[in-house]
Amino acid sequence: GAVVSQHPSRVICKSGTSVKIECRSLDFQATTMFWYRQFPKQSLMLMATSNEGSKATYEQGVEKDKFLINHASLTLSTLTVTSAHPEDSSFYICSARSSGGNIQYFGAGTRLSVL
Amino acid sequence: AQKVTQAQTEISVVEKEDVTLDCVYETRDTTYYLFWYKQPPSGELVFLIRRNSFDEQNEISGRYSWNFQKSTSSFNFTITASQVVDSAVYFCALDTGFQKLVFGTGTRLLVSP
């Protein structure tokens, strides 16, 4: 199957700082990438959908100024959590899908802890 | 509205037992796709299967098998002769063509030796 790499796997930061998470498709071109948030023992909540070269589409209730998404190339999307606060602590996971395909391949996730 | 229900929150079995994970979905669309993903403790979601709404054939892949029944809107997943490595959270998901996956709440499977 297709491989999606997500980095870092774990990050601890101080309140008020910004954190960038990278999501890369390693062996295919991802025209669409998705960012999810998962709380402990819960399902995945879609935060936003990003298409290469265009602005991300955010789900209702997700602050676009807080969660900046950039999909500058067909193999890379980034999520930046700006001015992070303890309530932003969570597991963030990305997925990627190729053009014409509808299988989402997921990264290994990033566990963010904001102190 | 689209919805996926996984009524079993947690299942515990002993190694070598067979186990079935239930998935019931709701959609008004006639064309849709159903998925199963496995999330081991490491966190990554592993794609297991995709089934489109026009293909009701059951599928078997090694110890895994899937039963798709449109009449009951179900897409159940059976693991035969379970192993400890099967311990994970399993998610059923629905895609109705709007580029979004609607996930169920997941079933945590614990296989004991």
Question: What digits encode the pLDDT tens for the residues A78-110?
Answer: 999 999 999 999 999 999 998 777 899 999 999
Supply B91's token pair. Answer: 């998610």
| Nearest partner of A109 among B9, B59, B53, B45, judged by Cα | B45
Contact list in B for residue A94 (CB cut-off 8 A) is none
Strand bridging mode A110-114 / A90-98? antiparallel
Strand bridging mode B59-61 / B46-52? unpaired
What are the DSSP calls for A54-72, one per residue? S--EEPTT--TTTEEEEEE
Mean pLDDT calculated for residue range B85-106: 91
Chains A–B, number of C-beta pairs less than 8 Å apart: 48
Q: Do A43 and B46 touch (CB under 8 A)?
A: no
| Nearest partner of A39 among B58, B103, B78, B48, judged by Cα | B103
pLDDT of res. B56: 85
Look-up of token digits 């002993």: B14
A2: confidence class by pLDDT, cuts 50, 70, 90: confident
| Nearest partner of A92 among A5, A28, A6, judged by Cα | A6
Residues of B engaging A, defined by a Cβ cutoff of 8 Å: 33, 35, 37, 42-47, 50, 91, 95, 97, 99-101, 103-106, 108
| Distance between CA atoms of residues A94 and A59, nearest Å | 15
| B103 closest CB neighbour out of A32, A44, A102 | A44
Provide the edge-to-edge strand list for the sheet that holds A19-25: A4-7, A19-25, A76-81, A67-73
Mean pLDDT calculated for residue range B46-67: 92
Tens-place pLDDT, residues B15-37: 999 999 999 999 999 999 999 99
* DSSP type of residue A25: E
| Nearest partner of A29 among A99, A107, A94, judged by Cα | A99
Mean pLDDT calculated for residue range A61-84: 94
Contact list in B for residue A1 (CB cut-off 8 A) is 47
Residue A11 has pLDDT above 80, yes or no: yes
| Distance between CA atoms of residues B92 and B76, nearest Å | 9
Contact list in B for residue A104 (CB cut-off 8 A) is 47, 101
